[in-house]
Amino acid sequence: MGPQYDVTIITVRPGTQPRALVKLKETVADAPGLLACWYSAIGALNQILLLRASGDPAAVLAPRK
C-alpha cells in the first residue's frame, strides 16, 4: 500500500494569518511527512492548508487526537 495523505485545513480569524504562519513554522516546519503548507490571498481566505504524507494511516491521524 502506498503513502497515506492528510490535508488539514486551519481557519483563522481575519488579520491573524501572518501570526498563525509564524507559529506553524515554529511548530511543524520540521515535522516528518510535511509536504506543503500554503494559503491564498484569492479565493478561500483565512485558511491555511497543511499536506502531510505517511506510510502508516494511524500516524497520519495521531496528531488529531
What's residue 19's pLDDT?
Answer: 94
Q: What is the pLDDT of residue 48?
A: 94
Residue 16, pLDDT score: 92
Share in percent of the chain as helix, strand, coil (round to 5) = 30, 35, 35
Q: Residue 45 is placed in which grid cell?
A: 481566505
Choose among 61, 57, 16: nearest CA to 39: 16
Q: Tell me which residues of the chain have a pLDDT lower than 70.
A: 1, 60, 63-64
For residue 8, which phi and psi values (nearest 5 degrees)? -105, 125
Q: What's the pLDDT at 60? A: 67
- The whole-number pLDDT of residue 64 equals 67
Residue 54 phi, psi dihedral angles, 5° rounding:
-160, 150
